[in-house]
Structure 1
Amino acid sequence: MSGFDFTDKVMLVTGGAGGIGSAMCRRFASGGARCVVVDIDAARAERTADELPGTGHLGIGCDVLDRSQVERLFDLVGDTYGRLDVLVNNVGMTSTERFDVRSVESIEREITLNLTSPLIATRIAIPLLQASRDARVVTTVSLGGIFPLGETPIYTASKFGLRGAMLSIGLDLRSKGILAGSVLPSATDTRMLRQEAVDGGNSMQFQDRPQQPADVVAAVVGLLDRPRLEAYARTGESWLVRFAMLAPNLLPKVLPLFRGRGDRGMARYLEDLRRRGLANRVDDRWELVEEA
């Protein structure tokens, strides 16, 4: 049995209509929580909320890059529920465009979405969290917040920064009655990873078979059960990347040793997507099949 009592908890999840976010919401709702599903796509957010077990859920469209929309979001939560028990910062993005060719605007957008927006959301949510008797903040970071990914330096920068910020926030808010921690998953089978694979992204993250959203959800529930600053969906991988960062100057020599395994892993993943009807090979290139 879970040590964290979800019953009647008000739990808000950004990116809540995505693969990981919707899986979180289903788990929370099945335990008796009232979920606020936040997504840039309002229709998807509302549909996800409508499909959750239990009652009292909300699906809200919100562009977290727009501070006025974020302020209205938390005003609505306050008007509806009067408090917020758990804020889950889950929204994020990545791009396979290489650093030397991508636009400055795309760099700014990715940094703002992945790093700045969770900090702003957490700050704006503080009064509602303080109205809770058991306030929590959970942030989805990434093992990319520990280990540099050469093909996706902006994602790495944002996740390195987010990890550090959330460690600091966790230390600061603990004395103020709010427990904050982060979950650091590795590659997870979501639409974002599928897009990265068909676009020829970083193959290093395919050393092992991608985990499932349910694995990340389990890590989140574990963090709620036993509050701490960080939790990992795959503990073995976390030890490997942390060990590797003890000598970062060796990375240029070490990484090529793993490149072949990663390339083979990504090829297997793409074939798995094809078998599942999620990707096709067209004219010597891969394309995602849009899900209904």
Structure 2
Amino acid sequence: MTYRAHGRVVVVTGGGGGIGSAFAREVAARGATVVLVDLRSDAADAVAASLPGTGHGVVTGDLTSRTDVERVLSEIEERHGRIDVLVNSMGMTSAERFDERSVDSIDLELTVNLHAPLMLTRLAIPLLRAAPDPRVITVVSLGAIFPLGETPIYTASKFGLRGAMLSIALDLRDKGITLSSVLPSATDTRMLRQEALDGGNAFQFQDPPQTPERVARCMMSLLNRPRLEAYPRPSESWLVRAALLAPNLLPRAMPLFRGKGERGQARYLAELERRGLVTEDGRLVDGPQ
């Protein structure tokens, strides 16, 4: 069944980013009114201007701040009166190793990736209940299943987010609110490009990164056919879930994949240079999210 998006109010956090903007384009093309929420107003404004249809808007806010979250929701309520679909797609990662990074940076990453989407979802409940068929879609990560040694705080936040959204989905399903999560593997976004430049997790480059559009189509499938979780690349999900059946084997198994991942990462960095997204001195340039 195809989700009837026409006239629905769809709120997308991280709307100026790669996955958020790709989903915004998908759902706007089906007639939805999209509200992009992002800390970077310039990025969100550019996405909003590119969306098909009319009535789209941007609300700027820091979703790690309860005061900002309440203001953002108040603006959405004033403009639209409800939220039909809330999409949690904001996030961050860091390639700093656990034994070297500051405690403040750990706290920030957990706040952005775990606390912020939970706080927003909870405070958005009244606006969701004002909709006839309220939905919540959260962008988690395949890293919510498989431990990534180079990015343990990202892994921790995504493990927690996946578990929380599964639990909340079970709690709210009989209360009329449908929650789903998408678990993408490496996706060609600005965040991944920066991580690759910083020497982040090489395991995720076993295959070339997928496009944000592929993830967005998977998210649309959750609107068409609601379920707890979906994977843009199902074969990868089966691989990582099978690997965790025997977690004690990971220290011996990981080296078998490291070489392929490092070669894939090197190819990805070379591709970024060809696309003009990396400067000669190895810095990420302003460009597509």
Normalised to the residue count of structure 1, the TM-score between the two structures is 0.97
Corresponding position of 1:240:
239
Corresponding position of 1:78:
77
Corresponding position of 1:288:
284
Distance, in Å, in 2 between the alignment partners of 1:189 and 1:56 is 29
Corresponding position of 1:167:
166
Q: CA deviation at 1:45?
A: 1.8
**Secondary structure, aligned partner of 1:156:** helix
Distance, in Å, in 2 between the alignment partners of 1:216 and 1:3 is 17
Corresponding position of 2:65:
66
Corresponding position of 1:260:
259
- Unpaired runs of 5+ residues, structure 2, are none
Distance, in Å, in 2 between the alignment partners of 1:47 and 1:59 is 10
Q: CA deviation at 1:279?
A: 1.4
Verify the 8 A CA contact 1:39 1:61 in the aligned structure 2.
yes
Q: CA deviation at 1:56?
A: 1.2
Q: 2:131 corresponds to which letter in structure 1?
A: S
- Unpaired runs of 5+ residues, structure 1, are none
CA RMSD in angstroms comes to 1.0
Runs of 4+ in 1 over 4 A off after TM superposition: none
Corresponding position of 1:32:
31
Corresponding position of 2:200:
201
Corresponding position of 1:112:
111
**Secondary structure, aligned partner of 2:115:** helix
Q: 2:12 corresponds to which letter in structure 1?
A: V
Distance, in Å, in 1 between the alignment partners of 2:214 and 2:60 is 26
Equivalent pairs, count: 288
Q: 1:216 corresponds to which letter in structure 2?
A: V
Corresponding position of 1:271:
270
- The one-character-per-residue Cα deviations of 1:56-111 (angstroms, maximum 9, x if unpaired) are 11111110011111001111111111110000000000000000010000000000
Corresponding position of 2:178:
179
Q: Percent identity?
A: 61
Q: CA deviation at 1:124?
A: 0.5
Q: CA deviation at 1:281?
A: 4.4
Q: Which has the higher contact order (CA 8 A, sep 6+)?
A: 2
Q: 1:99 corresponds to which letter in structure 2?
A: F
Distance, in Å, in 1 between the alignment partners of 2:21 and 2:85 is 15
Distance, in Å, in 2 between the alignment partners of 1:219 and 1:117 is 23
Corresponding position of 1:249:
248
Normalised to the residue count of structure 2, the TM-score between the two structures is 0.98
